Amino acid sequence: MPFSASLTSAISGLNSHQTLMDTIANNIANVDTIGFKSSSVTLGQAFEQILRNATGATALSGGTNPIQIGLGVSVQSIDTQMTQGNLETTGQNTDLALQGQGFFIVNLNGTQYYTRAGAFQFDAQGRLMDPGTGAIVQGKTADSQGNLPVGSAVSDITIPYGQKSPAKASTYIKLTGNLDSSQTPLGTIMQSNSVYAIDNGQTDIEGLLAADSGGGNNHVVTGMVPDSTTLSMTIDGQASTYTYVTTDSGTGKGDFHTLQDLVNEINYSLNQQFSGSSPVTASINSATGSISFVNNGTATHSLQITSTNPVLQSAMEASSPVTLAANGGSIATQEFSHVATASDLLVNLRNGNGVGLGIANNDQININGEVDGS
């Protein structure tokens, strides 16, 4: 191969890579060009010179590969990348952008073109146009309901100056603003008292309201310290102790987080004490939120419940030993309520004293209010 061939190959590489660099420079230069699509260059080997042909295998020898050498590189293609660009807020009402596939149709001197650049403005005739080229944006005009008439043609998008839309009453008004913190408030700040709901045993004991039936002697359970606060139950002289935790680890582990966790632990201990079938059982009364202890056996049993938390101990109503009579004898703790949430039923709501609001199913509730709090 003559020496000039190597020079030709080198020059072709320089020329091709110059095209590549020109394309990259153009992409960078147009980084802020609206609707610009970058390009990529594909290079490929131009020609090959065969110095020796390949030979096939024979019965006595294998085949040989050809000997060939390339003669430079050439630009195979320059492709436009049509990927979705980033959308930006411009503050100009007539600036438009396309999310996904599609093009704007513009008409320049009777010829239609397609573009992704949406920096448009209105001309003196009210036509939406590309200010850079003067091309008129075209499309189909929808009716007052937003529907495109069947068979409608593509035409210039025009909004004549001075055209008025029929008046329509407002249906929604949103007023926002900042109040001057240095001014004296003109209104009255109103805040309702806490509203509670009957607890079903699924809420953290910390923060529960405990009250007697009818709302007397009410207190909020506070001071429950995880891994420290305990509650002990003694039945017929045999005691079991349970520890308040952040997350209950399961029945039989001796810890609790909610009332239901505590009931599960108590029943587990009772069954262990009475060899699998305890005559005394504990359960949560879903109608009141209290814990009930019932003796279904034929003998009396003594029950005492204490706690390192004085409010919880008082709520259990058994700090001193009480006797559960045979054949259905029972006692109940105070009624527990949690702070009401949006998912609680109105019929289960109580005021801050633990008294029900007196709302029953099928009741009608009327809410009336006027400006100025009248």
The one-letter amino acid code at 128 reads: L
Poorest-confidence range of 143-152, 240-249, 302-311?
143-152
> Residue 62, SS3?
coil
Residue 190 pLDDT level (bands cut at 50, 70, 90): low
CA–CA distance, 127 with 122 (Å, rounded to integer): 5
Average pLDDT, integer, range 145-162: 85
Mean pLDDT of the chain: 88
**Quick one: pLDDT at residue 373?**
47
Pick 173 or 184 by higher pLDDT.
Answer: 173
Average pLDDT, integer, range 102-111: 93
pLDDT above 80: residue 3: no
pLDDT above 80: residue 372: no
Whether the predicted model's global pTM rises above the 0.75 cut: no
Poorest-confidence range of 34-48, 91-105, 237-251, 288-302?
34-48
Residue 292 corresponds to which tokens in the numbers above? 């009930």
Pick 40 or 48 by higher pLDDT.
Answer: 40
pLDDT over 90, % of the chain: 52
Pick 51 or 20 by higher pLDDT.
Answer: 20
Question: What ranges do the domains of the chain cover?
Answer: 3-51+68-80, 92-140, 196-350
Which residues lie across from 332 on neighbouring strands?
Answer: 292
**Quick one: pLDDT at residue 341?**
92
pLDDT above 90: residue 309: yes
pLDDT above 50: residue 39: yes
Q: Which residue reads 């002990």 in tokens?
A: 232
Residue 374 pLDDT level (bands cut at 50, 70, 90): very low
Q: Which residue reads 């005009």 in tokens?
A: 141
Q: Which of 338, 333, 340 is nearest to 315 (CA)?
A: 333
9, 1 Cβ separation under 8 angstroms: no
